[in-house]
Structures are given as structure tokens and as C-alpha cells.
Chain A
Amino acid sequence: MTELATMEFHPQPQAGEPKVWAFPAPERGTLDNGLTLLRCHRPGQQVVAVEVLLDAPLDAEPAGLDGVATIMARAFSEGTDKHSAEEFAAELERCGATLDAHADHPGVRLSLEVPASRLAKALGLLADALRAPAFADSEVERLVRNRLDEIPHELANPSRRAAKELSRELFPADARMSRPRQGTEETVENIDSAAVRAFYEKHVRPATATAVVVGDLTDIDLDALLGDTLGSWTGSTAQPRPVPPVTADDTGRVVIVDRPGAVQTQLLIGRIGADRHARVWPAQVLGTYCLGGTLTSRLDRVLREEKGYTYGVRSFGQVLRSAPDGSGAAMLAISGSVDTPNTGPALDDLWKVLRTLAEGGLTDAERDVAVQNLVGVAPLKYETAAAVASTLADQVEQHLPDDYQATLYQQLAATGTVEATAAVVNAFPVDRLVTILVGDAAAIKEPVEALGIGEVKVVTAE
């Protein structure tokens, strides 16, 4: 029986006239205390986003104190000279605000979101946190214990466990990047309030910080507001810290983190490559999207939509750290999980996809669809203030010009199939990929060895 519906069919409609949209241009300024300020008015966005970047990178952490930047970041919301830890949290929530802070390789970042009507109050609290954090002994001690409690949870999570192993494999043992961003049990337990305060005093000051404010700023006198809040934060001047070079060993090899009985294998296959300063970046974005940006990209077309081995495999480029001179690096990786019995066949297909791409290249149609998507989704991707603020902050953190994102869209549109092919093939060379597999070694080791994608090593999970 055929199931021809009784509906009336119409031909596929043609697109209307596109409307002009451009990534918003921020207004840049400096407060009297040296704080760099980017602001951007987004009509209708009632939840205002504020990002503050501190030049306190992980490589500035003292030896043996990995994690002190993380504890400092968390301690910003644990009390000030005006409020206890409990009061501070209560006051923030009274504004309907959320404040997140985290430490990563480029620095520490605080992200505030608050309804525009309560921006003044929330900015005051944020300024207090930066200007006069309490760093009380007991609160820091609690944060340290809490952090120690978190570690086993992270190790039990397959994707986080894979990320940990990849960093350890890729980077030299003495590089901060080889070690956990938030520290290990060994280093975290050495952290106390004195260490947090010392790190703060050495690395946190308005002169090397940037604030990004985005949202509907109608009827808000932002200059006055900032003067009363972030403007009252004082500190000495300082030179920006030099950025250490990033190196990695991408000799093709496989590490299996053994999880006996696991029903799936978590894959993380990576190396490092160019960051956004490189001319190749737009082509690399385009090519990486064609390889594994979505479920109709090459990887999922085979691994998911033909074979059903996975819920989804993605390829991506994620900036690790950038430098003003362009010597930074990005992690280039493929990740996903596949069922245990099909781990060998899935990796075999994955490598076949990479080889086929290297041999035959991308098609013009693939390139066109990728450009239409990457450029076309911009207005919806940047609908919220938080999304705009985050990208503006990324640009600052990565030493890029304020019009970088706007220019990137033009560059993507101008990138051809040949360039995109070359970029993605160079980004994912079949013999220069470090493969981490978190899964049941007894079931997957033999089939993976048979693939010839590099020496296979097994490590035991914690």
C-alpha cells in the first residue's frame, strides 16, 4: 500500500530578499583606573550581560598550586568587605542575577547576567568582588574541599576523562597545558587563603582587565554607573604577561583509558593547530564544519546516518590560547561516543572519511551549504546579549580586533572549496592524530590495534 498523502503539494518556496545584519560593533573606552571597557547597546535584550576578563592566566599559577586561579575565581563570590559569603550570594540573587567565574589558560573570566532594571545593584556587587574580595580562611578552605570532592565526579565522566588524557598526551609534561585546568588532588590541597590572596595581588588589577557590557541600555547612564562601581576599583599598573609558546606532540598513537564493562567508547581524537590569528582560520572553520559540524557533515553521514554507530560525532577547533604576535594555538579535535562492539568498525570508517577527504577534497556544494549555514545563522546565534558579550570577550582575550567577528563572516563567504579542503586536510592529517578512547580495553584493544592508526597503550582509569 502506498502512503501518498491527500494533501495538496506545492513546490519548494524560494527565499525572499535577505535583510542586512551585521555583527554589532562595540564602543571601546577606558575608565580612569585603566580598566578597558567595551559596550554594546542591543535593543530589546532585557537581560544585560557583563563579562570581565582578568589577565591571570593558568601559567601564572605558582608551582605546586595548580588550581589556585580556579579557587580565586570561585572565591570572588564568597564575600567582600561589605558582605559575608552567604549575604553576597543572597544579594546577587535578590537582583535576579547570576555570576559565574572560571579560570582557563588565557585568564580568569567573570560572567554576570542581570535584568537591566537591576544592573546598577549587580554591577556594585561585581565591583565589590573585584575590588575587595574577603578571601576568608574558612570560605577558601571550604572551596578547596569542595573542589577536591568534585574531582572523582569528573574522572568518572567519560568525556571529561578523555579530555584530561588528551592534554596529558599532547603537551610537554612541564607545560601548564598538560595538567588539569582546575588542579589535581595533590595541588589543590595545598591551596589556602594566603595563596589565593597572593595570586590576586599579583595578577588582578583594573589596568590589565577588560569589561564588556551588552544589552538594552536604554535609559541607563552607563558612564555614571560604571564610575560608581567598576570605576572605584584601584590598582597598580602592570605590563601584560608574555604568552608562552604552545607545543604539542601529535605523533599518531592511541591511548585506551580502561573502563571495564563500559557500553560505549568515548572518542577524542586531537592535535593542535592554527588559532584565529592565522590566515587559514576561516578556511579551517569551513572545512571543519564540512567534516563534522552537524549530522549531515561527512562524519555523521557515515557513522550516524548510515551505520548507526553513534548519536553524533563532531569535529571542532577551539582556541587554547592566543598571543598578540599570532603564536597561539587551537585544539583541533573529533569527539563523540560509539557503542563498544562497533568501536573498531567506527574508527575504521572515521579514518576512511579522513582519507577520502584528503584524496578527493570537498565538493563545491558542500562548501556552499557550509558557508550559507555559518554566515546565515549569525543573526540568530547572536540574538541574546550574553552571546554577543561572550564573543566580544573572546576577541579581547585572544588579542583580536573588535571587528574580528564581523570580518570573519566576510572572509567565510569569500573562502573557496580548494582552500577549505586544504585547511581541513592539514588540520586532520591521518598520521598525526592522538586518539584517546575511554572504554572497555578487553573488548576494544584488539580491533583498534588491527586498524594501524598508531601504537596502542592502555592505562587504567582511576
Chain B
Amino acid sequence: MPMGHTATDQAGTGGLTATEHRLANGLRVVLSEDHLTPVAAVCLWYDVGSRHEVKGRTGLAHLFEHLMFQGSGQVKGNGHFELVQGAGGSLNGTTSFERTNYFETMPTHQLELALWLEADRMGSLLAALDDESMENQRDVVKNERRQRYDNVPYGTAFEKLTALAYPEGHPYHHTPIGSMADLDAATLEDARAFFRTYYAPNNAVLSVVGDIDPEQTLAWVEKYFGSIPSHDGKPAPRDGSLPEIIGEQLREVVEEEVPARALMAAYRLPHDGTHEADAADLALTVLGGGESSRLYNRLVRRDRTAVAAGFGLLRLAGAPSLGWLDVKTSGDVEVPVIEAAIDEELARFAAEGPTAEEMERAQAQLEREWLDRLGTVAGRADELCRYAVLFGDPQLALTAVQRVLEVSAEDVQAVAAAKLRPDNRAVLVYEPTAPAEIADSAEDAADDPESAATVEATDENEEAAK
């Protein structure tokens, strides 16, 4: 039965509210009403990701995510896709280091179908899982790996940097896509055991956002999910804690057939959910977000040594976050020239901190990103799940932007001084094996045809976690 019903409308939530409930089997439920558009988003986060995988079985969480679309107790074959799409909905699933999510956005009047489908696979996936779908999806995932990582220039950079930044044996040492050898090695029994271990109502959070009647929605949730037995026995993930800073500069030089030299780096940053992580986000935005950032102005505009230069933040809750630097060199420029300029900029930033104008710009950019995230029912549903699963409180999603706006310039400077230093990074340098020659008639299609390859693009994506 539902219990622990709360409703809040705190300051700084932009008028958004969410209520929380828990079924007797442990399933946490978050509801948020919004009647502007006749749609409803269903989002289900399972508290399992690639960090739970064991040696020799990397990629299993993501391969398993694919299997969740291969039918369940009452749903045949590709029925999860067929039924949702046939109802005018869209759906997908993604896997990251820390969680696996499944989501549907439905026209309001089809909401109940999405709940029925999610409950069916949570409670009865193994009734449908067989060798045929295992073998087929193993091949699909291996082709996903080839397409997204192995067959594109710099495609494995993130994997290499992650492996450098998190030591051997650390749960985040490998990325969610996994290795080809481990994908080959996974067995049907591995998949079954994975389901039995991690796919339980008490290891999940369900959010429903949009044009909903909360009472009716909760009754449906209770009807479809309420009888799914909970079970314990999920092993705690391996410890992801690491020293505050790396302590030395790690470095790998990759000689590969790539079009230009590149300098990439991963800095060890504070855990997601902390004030310091928000400060780091602002620091990276001032230094490397957009086209008015310090690194863009220095490398692309003034020195003209780079084609592109930017910083990104991979927020992680169970291990230090990663600040991700990506610079592609211009013409024949050599990496040390770029590296010296970056070190100079980072040192100056650590010494002086951001200007008031830089703070204003960075906060405005992050605020817009939050408005974008929370501006769709699907984005809001995902954020509610994220804060519920990782931090135990979905309400934190609604006040996240407020927290970013409250960070001071001093805090930004402090985190930059403490973390953005050479002895706290893993560096990846690309040196092209054959000097990239430019063809006489180079064409570019401004639009990648694949991006238009869709009236509605819906397939399962493994999250690049970037």
C-alpha cells in the first residue's frame, strides 16, 4: 500500500512539485503533475550499472538492458516496442556506470499500457528470455560497439581515459559498453542471474510525470507492480572511493589513424551531489563551455592552435566525477604547445578565480540546460529518478538549478585550485600514424543523414556517459 506521501512546493522549484510513495514490496514511486500537454512520461531506474559487473563480464548490464526488449511473461518478441509505438508512444533504455533506465513517453490515454509493460518485464522477464534472443542481441551489441566506438576516429578515447583515471580493479575502470571478449563470454545463465540479483522492485524507482491523475496512477502502479515480490541479496557494489587527487600525471600516447593530433584529459573531481561538484561544473563551464570560455578564447580564437577545445563534466555519485578535456589541434600544431597553454590558463584560473561576469555567464548557461532538462516530461521524470536513486530524495531534482546559482566565485576558485592541476589528471595524446592528407575534393554533408534517418528515432542506446 502507498505510504509516506509527501508534497512540497519549495522555493526555487520553478513551480514544479513531486510526491513520493512506496509500495509494500519496496518499489519507490515519484509522481509529478503537469497538464500543459496531453502526454505522460514513465521512467524506471534500476540501481544497477556497469560498476556492478564483475571481472570477465564487462558489458553485461548493457547487454541485459537489450534483453529487456525481447519479450516478457505476457509480451511476445518485440512486443515492448510494438505496443508502445503502436500506442503513439516512444521508448528507450540506456545503461551507465551507476544505473540502468527504461522510459516511455505516452499520450495520456495510453499511460496504463506503459505501466503494465514495465511491470510485466520487472516481474516475469525470465519467462521469455531464451538462447535465441541472447545470441541475437549479443551480435547487435557487438555491432553497436563497432559503430559507436571501434569504427570512428577517437571512438575509444573515453574508454581509454576511463581506464587510466580509475585504476585496475576499480568498479569504474571499464565503461558500460564492455569488451568484445567479455560480450562473447557472457552466457544465458549470466543474464538470468543478473536479472534475479538486480531486477527487483526494491532496487528500482518509478517516476510518472505529466498529464496524470495521481490517485488513478498510483492505483495502477499498485495493481501492476504491487504483487511483484521483492528480494534482497543484491551484493553491495565494490568500493569506488579513491584518494582526493590522483597524485601524479598519468599519460598514454595513442598512435592511430586519426585525422589530427588530439589532447584529451580526465581530471578527478568531487562526487556528484556535493556543493563542490556544482562548483566544479561552473569552473569547467567558465574554462571550457561554449564559445566564450577561457580555453576557447585562448586556443581557438587567439593562439589559433586548436579546431575545438572544451571541457565536460561526467557527474558520478559512487566514485569521483570526471572533468573531461577535449582539444583537437589545428594544422601541424604539436601537442606540447597546447598543453603549455592549457596549464597556463588553469594555473591563472586557480590563482585568480572567475570574474563576476564569467560567473554570471556560466550560471546562465547551466540554468538554461536545467530548464531544457526539466522542460519536457521525460527529462523531468529522468531527473526525479536520478535524485531518488543516487541521493535518496527526488525533491532535490527540482531545486538543483537553485543550488548551482548559489555557488560563489570563491567556491569555484577553490575547487579549481584543488583539482584542476597536472598531478590530478590522466592525459591521452593522439598522434596520427599517417599525416592526414586533405583530399582535393572534400565534401561534407552539413547534416549527417543518419540524424534525419528517422521520422521517430527509437532504438536502444547504450549511454556514452559523456
A residues lining the B interface (CB < 8 Å): 2-10, 12-13, 15-21, 43-47, 70, 77, 85-86, 89-90, 92-98, 102-104, 113-115, 118, 142, 145-146, 148-160, 162-165, 167-168, 179-182, 184-186, 262-264, 266, 268, 270, 285, 288-289, 293-296, 300-301, 304-312, 314-316, 318, 331, 333, 335-339, 368-369, 372-381, 383-384, 462
Contact = CB atoms under 8 A, between A and B. Distances in A.
Given A158-B151, A374-B456, A114 B87 contact: no
B445 A167 contact: yes
Interface in B122-152: 123-124, 126-127, 129, 135-144, 146-148, 150-152
B445 A46 contact: no
Contacts of A97: 368
A160 B211 CA distance: 40
B89 A380 contact: yes
Given A145-B304, A295-B459, A333-B449, A93 B292 contact: yes
Contacts of B136: 305-308
Contacts of B377: 380, 383
B140 A114 contact: no
21 contacts: A10-B223, A12-B113, A18-B107, A21-B38, A45-B375, A93-B292, A93-B361, A96-B365, A152-B260, A156-B259, A163-B443, A164-B442, A179-B441, A339-B146, A372-B87, A373-B88, A375-B88, A376-B87, A378-B88, A380-B89, A462-B437
B415 to A, nearest CB: 21
A374 B87 CA distance: 10
Nearest to B126: A3
Contacts of A312: 459
A163 B137 CA distance: 28
Contact of B113 (A15, A102, A162, A293): A15
Given A96-B365, A145-B330, A186-B441, A17 B109 contact: yes
B434 to A, nearest CB: 11
Contact of B38 (A19, A118, A307, A318): A19
A9 B368 contact: no
A5 B228 contact: yes
B330 A149 contact: yes
A319 to B, nearest CB: 9
Nearest to B116: A13
List 5 A-B pairs, minimum CB-CB distance, nearest first.
A376-B88, A308-B139, A180-B443, A164-B443, A3-B126
Interface in B75-122: 78, 81-83, 85-90, 105-113, 116, 119-120
A163 B449 contact: yes
A331 B445 CA distance: 12
A45 to B, nearest CB: 6
Given A46-B375, A93-B365, A154-B442, 14 more contacts: A5-B127, A10-B223, A16-B108, A20-B38, A142-B301, A167-B443, A180-B444, A181-B445, A294-B457, A308-B143, A310-B143, A372-B88, A374-B456, A377-B88
Contacts of A266: 151
B444 A308 contact: no
A337 B147 contact: yes
Contacts of A379: 37-39, 107
Contact of A185 (B73, B300, B440, B447): B440
Nearest to B195: A3
Contacts, number: 350
Interface of B: 14, 34, 36-39, 73-74, 78, 81-83, 85-90, 105-113, 116, 119-120, 123-124, 126-127, 129, 135-144, 146-148, 150-153, 192, 211, 220, 223-224, 227-229, 258-260, 290-292, 297, 300-301, 304, 307, 328, 330-331, 357, 360-361, 364-365, 367-368, 371-372, 375-378, 436-450, 452-460
Contacts of A17: 109
A296 B85 CA distance: 9
Given A306-B136, A312-B459, A19 B152 contact: no
Given A296-B82, A383-B376, A159 B143 contact: no
A149 B260 CA distance: 9
B450 A159 contact: yes
A296 to B, nearest CB: 5
A164 B139 contact: no
Given A159-B449, A314-B450, A373 B85 contact: yes
* A contact face: mostly helix, strand, loop, or mixed: mixed
Given A151-B438, A179-B443, A293 B454 contact: yes
Nearest to B124: A5
Most interface-central of A95, A301, A379 (chain B CB within 10 A): A379
A460 B330 CA distance: 24
A181 B73 contact: no
B108 to A, nearest CB: 6
Most interface-central of A15, A145, A301, A306 (chain B CB within 10 A): A15
Contacts of B108: 16, 19
Contact of A7 (B39, B229, B330): B229
Contact of B290 (A93, A102, A180, A381): A93
Contacts of A318: 447, 449, 452
Contacts of A86: 292, 297, 301
Contacts of A115: 364, 367-368, 371
Contacts of B460: 295
Given A47-B372, A89-B291, A104 B447 contact: yes
A153 B112 contact: no
B153 A2 contact: no
Contacts of B147: 264, 310-311, 337
Contacts of A164: 442-445
Nearest to B180: A263
Contacts of B119: 7
A318 B452 CA distance: 7
B453 A146 contact: no
Most interface-central of B89, B368, B458 (chain A CB within 10 A): B368
Nearest to B300: A146
